[in-house]
Amino acid sequence: MASTSSSLPSASAAPAVARLAAGAPEAETNGIANANADAEAYERANVHSVYEAIAPHFSATRYKPWPAVAQFLNTLPRGSVGLDVGCGNGKYLGVNPGVFMVGSDRSAALVALARDRLKEEGGVLPTGTGVKNAVRDETSDVTNTTATSGSRSSKEGITDVLVADGLSLPFRDGAADFAICIAVIHHMSTRARRQDAIRQLLKCVTAGEAGKAAGKVMVMVWALEQGSSRRGWDEGGEQDLLVPWVLKTPQQKQPRQPKQSRKQKKGAAAQHGQEGSDAVVVAHHANKSGEPPVPGPVPGPAQDQDQQEPAAPATDAGGGVSHTDPVFQRYYHLYRKGELEEDVLAAGGLVLESGYEKDNWWTVATNNGPTLSEEQ
Amino acid sequence: MKVLTLNFLTCAVKTCKSSADSFPLHPKDAELAHDDIEINPELLANVLPRIDWTALRTTSTELGFPELPAQPPTVEELEADEALLKELHSLLLETQMMEGKLVCGCCGHEYAVREGIANFLLPSHLV
């Protein structure tokens, strides 16, 4: 397992985003508008296009909801209408069968995957209907296995998906009872844009006016403080990074035991299907990949090991990463403790609850009604 | 794209949102499909108060469905009326707009719907 001792280091994105935040000199004439366009172009190259390219592989590693998010969803009143902004492959849609959720994502490829998945899945069913499904399976009821016919109590009935940008959402103000935005805002390259993203979420949910329950927004982001993870990021470290994703294609799987390899990968590498597990499929040198793209590796432990715990059998089983596996770099802003709450406040929100869950910070906030600050 | 979803959508252009003309979006050249989905009376009753009824009437008519009553049923009325439940279930959850466009009545921008998925990404001059 020589490959596991090597790694694909994350690289600093700090110089690039500092320029974006300040507004490139040439953009000064048009000020913020141009700086924002630059930031958008940066995210297009370092986030959006990457997700389009890695969508199927990424999706295959994302299927188990974070407990804190599932908990939030499962405590919502029945009949709530909610949004999942940056829904990816839609793993949170349908978690609570008593609510109607619309998922949106910037990546059309991921949205299409989400749609197909929701069509196929039996869905999370209330007690009592599970038996029915089991019977259907046993009798191989054809109508229930095709995608276009047969009465299904699948997630299809309680979800929908669309393509949209988190900063230009198509939802009418106050339309939703809740919104979640999981592992999305950390992909935005300036603080102003991250705060604006939260502001847009807050606008979508009902304001806390008299007689109306204020809508809730849950945001989760990658934490800088990942002391227990082997990525090596921690307090005081670099916050703006390019994090590699090695695209594993089926043909490149270990030919000896392709099934086993896949199983192991599911079992551990992607066990939680969590945003933090990205780097698990990464286990080789950036310069081997022929893509040494960025200003340079992050100093410190990040160079040693780019895997998450538990140790990833995917890497072991795969015997390392093929030289031909394409490597994509995604921009991340790692949130330090307290920063997410600061951003919620800056966006005019009221923080109700906050927490940390395995390398991530999360917060639940409300639209604070009239004080919701207007964007500039 | 479900008819229910359409009831929560408006134009993605920020300056349109304050205009009453931007909601609801108007279907154009819509190709509809009908999915067969198990009815969920409780969800329908719960979601009913969330629906903008006036907008739903507009959408329903624009898609070529029979006119809906001027006033929404109360939750009690809905629960007691199986035919109405089925009708609303069919309209809101089973009817899918598969192809076509959604047009903003304010700025006129047309959002494409393909294979059942609406795309609200804006060209750069509208962001």
**How many structural domains are present in chain A?**
1
Cα(A336)–Cα(A339) distance, rounded to whole angstroms?
Answer: 6
Cα(A374)–Cα(A228) distance, rounded to whole angstroms?
Answer: 39
Report how far apart, in Å, the C-alpha atoms of A129 and of each of A96, A132, A196, B42 are: 14, 5, 42, 15
Nearest of B66, B68, B56 to residue B93 by alpha carbon: B56
Residue A63 has pLDDT above 80, yes or no: no
Name which of B8, B11, B40, B79 to mutate to probe chain A: the one with the most chain A Cβ atoms within 10 A of its Cβ. B8
Cα(B101)–Cα(A192) distance, rounded to whole angstroms?
Answer: 32
Residues A175, B8: C-beta atoms closer than 8 Å: yes
Task: Please provide the DSSP assignment of A240-260 as one string.
Answer: EEEEEEE---GGGS-SS-HHH
Residues A151, B36: C-beta atoms closer than 8 Å: yes
- Residue with more model confidence, A309 or A34: A34
Question: Of A40, A102, A112, which is closest to B8 when you measure between CB atoms?
Answer: A102
- Residue with more model confidence, A343 or A284: A343
Would you state the structure tokens that stand for residue B67, as one six-digit string?
């006119």
Taking phi over 0 as left and psi of -120 to 50 as alpha, with beta for the rest, B76 belongs to: alpha
Nearest of A309, A282, A283 to residue A227 by alpha carbon: A309
- The answer to whether residue A258 sits within a structural domain is no
Question: Of B40, B93, B119, which is closest to A163 when you measure between CB atoms?
Answer: B119
Chain A residues touching chain B at CB-CB below 8 Å? 37, 40, 77-81, 98, 100, 102, 104, 106, 108, 111-112, 115, 148-154, 156-158, 160-165, 167-173, 175-177
Residues B13, A172: C-beta atoms closer than 8 Å: no
Residues B120, A175: C-beta atoms closer than 8 Å: no
pLDDT tens for A183-222 read 999 999 999 999 999 999 999 998 877 667 789 999 999 9
Which chain A residues have a beta carbon less than 8 Å from that of B93?
A: 157
- The answer to whether residue A60 sits within a structural domain is no
Would you state the structure tokens that stand for residue A81, as one six-digit string?
């209408």
Which chain B residues have a beta carbon less than 8 Å from that of A171?
A: 8-10
- The answer to whether residue A361 sits within a structural domain is yes
* Most distant CA pair in chain A, distance: 69
Nearest of B65, B36, B50 to residue B7 by alpha carbon: B50
Strand order in the sheet with A216-222: A159-163, A100-105, A81-85, A178-182, A216-222, A360-367, A349-357
Which chain A residues have a beta carbon less than 8 Å from that of B13?
A: 168
Which spans in chain B are helix H?
3-6, 41-47, 53-62, 75-80, 82-89
- The answer to whether residue A134 sits within a structural domain is yes
Q: Worst-scoring range by mean pLDDT, A15-24, A36-45, A126-135?
A: A126-135
| Right CATH for B3-126 from 3.40.50.720, 3.30.710.10, 2.20.25.10, 2.60.40.10 | 2.20.25.10
Residues A81, B50: C-beta atoms closer than 8 Å: yes
Residue A92 has pLDDT above 50, yes or no: yes
Nearest of A221, A176, A174, A166 to residue A197 by alpha carbon: A166
Q: Find which of A135-144, A169-178, A321-330, B37-46 is predicted with most confidence, using mean pLDDT.
A: A169-178
Burial B91-105 (b: 16+ CB within 10 A, else e): bbbbbbbeebbbbbb
Cα(A281)–Cα(A245) distance, rounded to whole angstroms?
Answer: 7
Count CB-CB contacts under 10 A for residue A49.
14
Taking phi over 0 as left and psi of -120 to 50 as alpha, with beta for the rest, A123 belongs to: left
What band does A56 get if pLDDT is binned at 50, 70 and 90?
Answer: confident
Cα(A223)–Cα(A353) distance, rounded to whole angstroms?
Answer: 16
Report how far apart, in Å, the C-alpha atoms of A127 and of each of A81, A141, A216, B16, B63 are: 21, 21, 27, 44, 36
List the domain range (segments joined by +) for residue A198. 67-224+336-371
Residue A365 has pLDDT above 80, yes or no: yes
ipTM entry: 0.96
Which chain A residues have a beta carbon less than 8 Å from that of B122?
A: 165, 168
Output phi, psi for A258, to 5 deg: -60, -40
* Contact between residue A241 and residue A12 where contact means Cβ atoms under 8 Å apart: yes
Nearest CA distance, B58 vs chain A (angstrom): 16
Q: How many helices (H) and strands (E) does chain A have?
A: 11, 10
What band does A323 get if pLDDT is binned at 50, 70 and 90?
Answer: low
Query: What are the residues whose beta carbons fall under 8 Å from the beta carbon of B37, sequence distance 6 or more?
Result: A151, A152, A153, A154, A156, A157, B89, B93, B94
- Domain spans of chain B? 3-126
* Contact between residue A330 and residue A50 where contact means Cβ atoms under 8 Å apart: yes
CATH classification at residue A179: 3.40.50.150
How many residues can be counted in chain B?
127
- Residue with more model confidence, A31 or A187: A187
Question: Of A98, A157, A171, which is closest to B9 when you measure between CB atoms?
Answer: A171
pLDDT tens for A243-255 read 888 777 655 444 4
Nearest CA distance, B107 vs chain A (angstrom): 14
Query: What are the residues whose beta carbons fall under 8 Å from the beta carbon of A210, sequence distance 6 or more?
Result: none
Q: What is the mean pLDDT of residues A72-81?
A: 93
* Contact between residue A50 and residue A243 where contact means Cβ atoms under 8 Å apart: no
Give the number of A-B residue pairs with CB atoms closer than 8 Å: 113
**What CA dihedral angle connects A23, A26, A27 and A31, to 10 degrees?**
80
* Contact between residue A362 and residue A68 where contact means Cβ atoms under 8 Å apart: yes
Which chain B residues have a beta carbon less than 8 Å from that of A165?
A: 12, 120-122, 127
